[in-house]
Amino acid sequence: MKGSAVTNDGAQKASFTAPTVAGQAAVIAEAMNTAQVASEDIDYVEAHGSGTLIGDSIEVQALERAFGGRGDCVLGTVKGNIGHLDAAAGIAGLIKTVPPSNTTSCPPPSTTTPPTPTPTSTTPPSTSHHHPTPWPPTTTPRRAGISAFGFGGTNAHLIIEEPPPTPTIPAPLTPHPSLTPTPTPRYPRHLWHP
């Protein structure tokens, strides 16, 4: 995990269950600030994707605001495949997103249902996809953002980063003997010490 943020819409909300563009954009910006990354450093966003016309519309507008109209970030969401899951919705997005840090493609949704219509924008923040999208390693670590939003106005965003490459450890130059419970042809009885 590179950085995270949690905020609440508070009095900005139109109703208890209605999200706000300002609140969602603010939590994404705060998470990027905490992680010390710019929007250009994020390749994939696992959206909250509530599957409602108003919720998805507001989330897309918040992403447009937070990402400044950047159109090359891949957008996905798991909730259309497994349901909302209420309090576990955020962890489902994290579980879906973590495997790509060890692979070379962004995770596709497992459904081919068209996404909920969203507002037309001349500069969408991202591209949704229905097939694995290439996500090759580069000279900088691959990063993803994960959003989760609660009914009462709680907004959370997490920035994750692929782990550094595991250093290769050279094989030892000298053999290391091992004890066996019985003598073997390779280790005659006179060398065997239980």
Mean pLDDT score of the chain, rounded to an integer? 80
Least confident range from 93-102, 112-121, 145-154: namely 112-121
Q: Is 146 or 138 the better-scoring residue by pLDDT?
A: 146
Distance from chain centroid for Cα 66: 16
Least confident range from 36-40, 81-85, 107-111, 129-133: namely 107-111
pTM over cut 0.85? no
C-beta of residue 159 within 8 angstroms of C-beta of residue 96: no
Whether the per-residue pLDDT at 122 is higher than 50: the answer is no
Whether the per-residue pLDDT at 90 is higher than 80: the answer is yes
Nearest to 8 by CA among 126, 181, 150: 150
Residues ≥6 apart with Cβ < 8 Å to 52: 116
Least confident range from 12-21, 35-44, 91-100, 115-124: namely 115-124
Helix (H) or strand (E) holding 85: none
pLDDT bracket for residue 93 (50, 70, 90): very high
Whether the per-residue pLDDT at 31 is higher than 70: the answer is yes
Q: What is the pLDDT of residue 155?
A: 95
CA torsion 20→26→32→34, rounded to 10°? -130
pLDDT bracket for residue 129 (50, 70, 90): low
Domain 3-165: assigned CATH number: 3.40.47.10
Extract the tokens encoding 162.
């692929």
